[in-house]
Structure 1
Amino acid sequence: MPPPWPPQYAWQPPYPQPPQQQYFPPQPPYQPAPRQTLGEKLGKEGAGSRVLAWVGGGVTLLGVVLLLVLAVQRGWLGPLPRVLVGAAFGLALTGTGVWLHRKPAGRTGAFALAATGIATLYLDAVAATSLYEYLPVLAGLAIGLAITVGGLLVAVRWESPLLASAVVVGCVVCAPMITGGFSPELVTFLLMVQLATTPVQLRRDWSSLTLAAGIPPLLASVIATVVEGGSWANTAAAAGTSVVGVGLALIVVRRRENDPAALSVLATAVVPTLVAALVLPKVQAVPVAAGAGVVLLAVWAARRFWSGLAGQLAGLAGLLAILQATVTQFDGPARAGVLLGEALLLVVAALGGRNRLALGAALAFATLGGLIAVFFDVTPVLLIVPRPHSAAELAGALAVSVLILAVSVALPWAAARLDVFKGPADDLPVWLLAGVAALYGAGGVVLSGSMLAVPGRPGFLLGHALITVSWTVAALVLLLRGIDLVALRVIGLVLVGAAVLKLVLFDLSALDGLARVGAFLGAGLVLLAAGSRYARRVTSR
C-alpha cells in the first residue's frame, strides 16, 4: 500500500513581514492669503472708475439736498414744482443707471447712478411730506416705502448688496437734513425703510443690508428722545422701533441661524424703549419698561422656535427691561425685597428648564438686591451697633433678611444641580461666599426678630446670643448629616469656625451680663454635645 501523501501546509515566510507604510510627503504649513493693501486695491484695473462713480453719486446726492434747502430759503418756485423737479431728476438718474446696466462695461456707473437716483426720489418724498408739507404724512410714508421697495428690487435683480445698502444708507443719512432734525416723524420714515428691506433679507444673505436698515431707527429714536424728551410721540416711536427690530431680527434668524447682523439688531432693539422710559414719569415709565420685558421674556420662553442664540439674547434684553421697571417702581426695603424675590423665581425657572442663563440672571438680580439691602436695609450698623429702630424699619429688615437667606441657599444648590460647579469639597471658595451671605441673612433674621419682640438694647443682646447658639446648632446638624456627605461635613466645619470667631471677636466685647454668659455657655454646650455625638456616630459606622 503506497504511503499517504505528506500533508499540505500553506507557505509562510521565515519571519513576519512588517506592514508596509505609505509615504506621504510633508505638507507645507497653512498660510492665509495675504490681504491686499489700500494701494493695491486702488491700483487694480477699474478701481478708479468705481471710486469716481460712487464719489460722484454721493456728491450729487448732497447737491440735491442743498438745492432743496436753498429753494426753500430763496423762495424758488412753489412746493409742487419743487417736488416735481426733484422727482424728475431722480427718475432721470435711475433710468440712466438702468440703461447703462445693459452693457457690462457700464455697470460700474450704473450702480452709482441708480443708487443716487433712488435716494433722490426718496428724499423728494420726505421733503414733500415734512419740509414743504405738500403731502399728508400717510401719503409720504406710502410713497417713500414704494420708492425704497423699487430700489431694493433693482438691487436684488442685479444681485448687488452694495446697491441695496447704498439705497438705504443714502436715505438714512439725508433724511434728517430734510426733516430738520431728529423727531418721531423721522423715526417713522426710517422704520418704513427697515420694513421695506424685509423681503430682501429673507431671500438674500446680506448682513450689510440688515445693519444698514436696522441700526439707524434705533439711533434716531434714542437721539429724538434725548432731544425732545418723553413725549407720547417719542415713546410710541421708540416702542415701534423696538417691536420692528425684534420682529425682523427673529424672522431673519429663523432662516439663518446665528446671523451676526440680526443678532446685533435683536440685542439692541430694546434700547430705545428703555431710554424713553428713563425720561417718562414713573406712572408711565414702569408699564413701558415692564411691557418690553414681558414681550422679550415671552420670546425667550419660546426659544425652541428660534435656533441658536436668538432666544438667549432676547431673554437677556427682557431681564434688563424687567430690572429697570423694578428699580423704577420700588424704593426702600421693597426694592431689595422684590429684586431678591425675582432672583428666587429665576432660580425656579433655571431648575425647571435646566437653563444656565436663567441661573446667571438670578445671580445678577440677587447680587444687586443684596448690595442694596446691605447699604440701605440690613446694614452692618443694624447688626453691630445697638441703636433704637422703628418697628417698620425692623419689619422691613426682617423680610429682606429672610430673602437673603433663601437666595443664598437656593443659588448654590441650583448651581450644583445644573452642574455649574461641584460641591464644597471641590469648589470651596464659591460655597464659602454663599455661606457668608447665608450667615448674614440668618443673622439679620434673628436680630430683627429679637428686636421686634424685645425692643431696645435687651433685644439686641438677646438676638446676638441667639445668633451664636443657632450657628452652633446648625453646625451640629450639618456635621451629623454629613457623615456620609462630604459637602455637608465641610459646611458644618466652616460654620463651627464662624461661630467660634464670632464668640471671640464680637460677643466677648460687645455683649455683657447674661447675654455674654448665655452665648458662651450655649455655644460651648452645643459644641461639646456635637463632639461627643459626632464621635459616636463615626465609630458606629
Structure 2
Amino acid sequence: MPPHAYPAAPPPPTAGGWGPPPVPHWTPAPPPPPGPTLFDRLAKDGAGSKLLAWVGGAVTLLGVVLLLVLAVQRGYLGPLPRVLGGAALGGALVGLGLWLHRTPAGRTGAFALAATGIAVLYLDVIAATSIYEYLPGGGGLAAGLLIAGGGLLLALRWDSAALAIGVVAACALCAPVLTQGFTPLLVAFLLVLKIAASPVHLKRDWPWLAVTAGVPPLIASVLVINRADELTLAGISLLAAVIGVAAAVLTVKVRPDDVTALALAVGSPLPALLTTAVLDRRLGAGVAGAVAVLMLALWAAGRRSLPGNFAAAVGGVGVFALFQATALALDGGTRAAVVLAEALVLAFLAKVLASRGPLLGSLVFGVIGTLLTLGTAVPPRLLLDEPWRADTAGFLVSGVLTALVLGVLAVVLPWVASGLGVLGRHPFPWVVAGVVLLYAAAGVVLCGALLVSQDVTGFLFGHSIVTVSWTVAALVLLVRGIDRKSLRVAGLVLVGAAVAKLLLFDMAALDGIARVLAFIGAGLVLLTAGTRYAKLVATRRISADS
C-alpha cells in the first residue's frame, strides 16, 4: 500500500446488506376520475324537479307575454284590467315562492316561482309604459328599477345565482316583444336591469349575472341604430357606455381578477363608437370625443389604483376613440396635423408618467399621421413634381404646419422611447426616424418656398435649400459625434444622401442658378465639414497621445 493511502470507506448498509442505496421507483399519478356525464346529471335525485320547475316558469312567462299581445290585438277586456291582471298574477307567483321557500324541500320550486313572478311584474310595467302609456317614460323606468332591484335583492338574500340570472334573462328576452321591437325605450329598460344587477354582482361573484345583465343593452344599442333620431341615439349610446364602464370599474375594485369586468369595460363603449357611422359628422365626432374623454380620464385617474391589464385596456379604447373623433371632425391636411399633434402629446405624456402605454398610442398615431401626411398634406409629388400649378396657399400653409409637427415627432418619439428603455442598439428604428425627419424637413422648406414664390422659381430654390440644409445637418452631426458613434454614422449617411440628391435629382430637375446654388452651397458646406471634422479628429488624437 502506498504511503498516506487509506482504504475506501465501505458503502452504507441497506436493508439487504452492504451495497449501493436503492433507486426509488417512480410511479405516475393516477388519472383524474371522469366528470359526470349529462345522463348522470339528469339521473340525480331531484334533477327532474329542478328542470320541470324552471321549464314551467319559462312557459308560464311566455304565456303571459303572448296573452298581453293577444289582448291588445283582439281587444280582450280593457287596458286597465290587463295591467291589473298582470300585476296580480306576478304578485301571486312571488307570494307563492316566498311561502314555498320556508321549507328546504320546496326551495327549488320557490326559486322558479319567484323568478317568474318578478319577471311578470317587470314586463307588466313595460306594457303599461310602452303599450298603454299609463306611465310616463321616467315613471315606468323608476317602477321597473324598484321591481328588478327587489327581485335581485331577494336573490341575494336567498343566495341564489339561478334566481338572479333567471330574473334578468327572462326580462331581457321578453321585453322586445312588448316594446314592439328594438326602440330607445327598450334600451332604457335593459339598462335598468343592468343598474339593478350591479350591486348584487359587487356583493357576490356571479359572473354569469354580469354577462346576462351587461350584454343585452349593448346589443340593443347597436340594433336600435336607424330606428331613433340622432340625438336620442347619441344619448342612449353614451348612457349605455357610462353605465357599463362604471359597473366594470366598481367590480374590478372589489375583485381585481374579474374577467367579466374587463370585458364590459372594453365592450360598453363600442356601441357608442359604432353609432357614429350613422350620425351627423359633427355629432358623431362629439360622441366619439365624449367616449375618449371618459376612457382617458379613467385611465389617468386609475393608472396606479386599477389593475394593469384593466387600465391598459381602458386607455387603448380611449386612444381609439380619440382617433375616431379626430377623423370625423377634420379632413385633409388638417386631420394629418392634428393626429400628429395628438401623437406628440401622447409621447410627452409617456415621458412625464414614465409609462409605455401612452408611448404605444403615440407610435400608432404617429404611423397613421405619417400615412395621412404622405397621402394628403405633403404628398411626394410636392417634392418631385410641379405642385405650383394646382396647390393653393391654404394647402401649402397646412403642409408647412403638418411637416413641422411630423419633424418634431420624429425627434421626440425616439428620444422618449430611448429614455424608457424601449429602443435598443438596433439601428433600424433610428434609420426610420431619420428618414421621416428628412422628409418632414424637406416638406417644410418646399412648402415655405412655394408660399413665398408659388411658381417654378420657388420650387427650384426650395430644392436647393433642402440640399444645402442636409449638408449642414450632416456637419452638425459629425461635429457632435466626435465621441458618439451613432451620431457619426448618421452624419456620414446624411452626407451620402445629400450627394445622392445632388447627382440623381438636382442635376436633372433643377435649372440655371438654382442648380448652381445647390452645388456650390452643398460643396462649400461639405468642404467645410471635411476640414473642420479632420481638424477635430486630429486634435482629439493629439490630446489622447499626450
Normalized against structure 1, the TM-score is what? 0.88
Distance 1:527 1:18, change over 3 A: farther
Deviation at 1:40, TM superposition (A): 5.4
Partner secondary structure for residue 181 of structure 1: coil
**Cα RMSD, aligned residues only:** 2.8
Counterpart-to-counterpart distance in 2, 1:31 and 1:484 = 65
Partner secondary structure for residue 337 of structure 1: helix
- The percentage of aligned residue pairs carrying the same residue is 51
Does 1:495 find its partner at 2:497?
A: no
Distance 1:342 1:167, change over 3 A: same
Counterpart-to-counterpart distance in 1, 2:333 and 2:290 = 24
Contact 1:296 1:317 in 2 (8 A): yes
Contact 1:79 1:134 in 2 (8 A): no
What does the per-residue CA deviation read over 1:313-362, in whole Å, with 9 as the maximum and x for residues that have no partner? Answer: 33223223322222222223221111111111111111111121111111
Amino acid paired to 2:393: A
Paired position in structure 1 for 2:144: 144
Distance 1:26 1:483, change over 3 A: farther
Amino acid paired to 1:350: A
Paired position in structure 2 for 1:181: 181
Paired position in structure 1 for 2:113: 113
Contact 2:282 2:328 in 1 (8 A): no
Amino acid paired to 1:331: D
Amino acid paired to 1:417: G
Paired position in structure 1 for 2:544: none
Distance 1:91 1:478, change over 3 A: same
Contact 1:394 1:451 in 2 (8 A): yes
Counterpart-to-counterpart distance in 2, 1:218 and 1:132 = 26
Paired position in structure 1 for 2:387: 387
Distance 1:89 1:436, change over 3 A: same
Distance 1:434 1:187, change over 3 A: same
Distance 1:382 1:16, change over 3 A: farther
Counterpart-to-counterpart distance in 1, 2:409 and 2:34 = 55
What does the per-residue CA deviation read over 1:404-449, in whole Å, with 9 as the maximum and x for residues that have no partner? Answer: 1111111111111111122xxx222222222221111111011112
Q: Aligned to 1:415, which of 414, 417, 442?
A: 417
Paired position in structure 2 for 1:239: 238
Distance 1:194 1:453, change over 3 A: same
Distance 1:316 1:503, change over 3 A: same
Q: Equivalent residues in 2 for 1:246-395 (5 A)? A: 246-303=245-302, 304-388=304-388, 389-395=391-397
Deviation at 1:269, TM superposition (A): 2.3
Deviation at 1:105, TM superposition (A): 4.4
Paired position in structure 1 for 2:427: 428
Distance 1:93 1:494, change over 3 A: farther
Contact 2:184 2:228 in 1 (8 A): no
Amino acid paired to 1:328: L
Partner secondary structure for residue 226 of structure 2: helix
Larger CA deviation: 480-489 vs 200-209:
480-489
Partner secondary structure for residue 308 of structure 2: coil
Deviation at 1:403, TM superposition (A): 0.9
Partner secondary structure for residue 320 of structure 2: helix
Paired position in structure 1 for 2:406: 404
Q: For structure 1, which runs of at least 5 residues remain unmatched after alignment?
A: 1-12
Paired position in structure 2 for 1:4: none
Contact 1:129 1:136 in 2 (8 A): yes
Does 1:218 find its partner at 2:218?
A: yes
Contact 2:276 2:287 in 1 (8 A): yes
Counterpart-to-counterpart distance in 1, 2:226 and 2:518 = 59
Normalized against structure 2, the TM-score is what? 0.88
Partner secondary structure for residue 335 of structure 1: helix
What does the per-residue CA deviation read over 1:189-246, in whole Å, with 9 as the maximum and x for residues that have no partner? Answer: 112111111221221111111122122222222222332241x333222222222112
Larger CA deviation: 191-200 vs 289-298:
289-298
Counterpart-to-counterpart distance in 2, 1:324 and 1:223 = 21
Paired position in structure 1 for 2:123: 123
What does the per-residue CA deviation read over 1:68-111, in whole Å, with 9 as the maximum and x for residues that have no partner? Answer: 11111111111222122222322333344444444444444433
Counterpart-to-counterpart distance in 2, 1:18 and 1:182 = 85
Distance 1:522 1:40, change over 3 A: farther
Counterpart-to-counterpart distance in 1, 2:430 and 2:31 = 48
Distance 1:390 1:136, change over 3 A: closer
Contact 1:183 1:234 in 2 (8 A): no
Q: Equivalent residues in 2 for 1:384-533 (5 A)? A: 384-388=384-388, 389-422=391-424, 426-533=425-532
Distance 1:33 1:403, change over 3 A: farther
Paired position in structure 2 for 1:10: none
Distance 1:28 1:97, change over 3 A: farther
Partner secondary structure for residue 313 of structure 2: helix
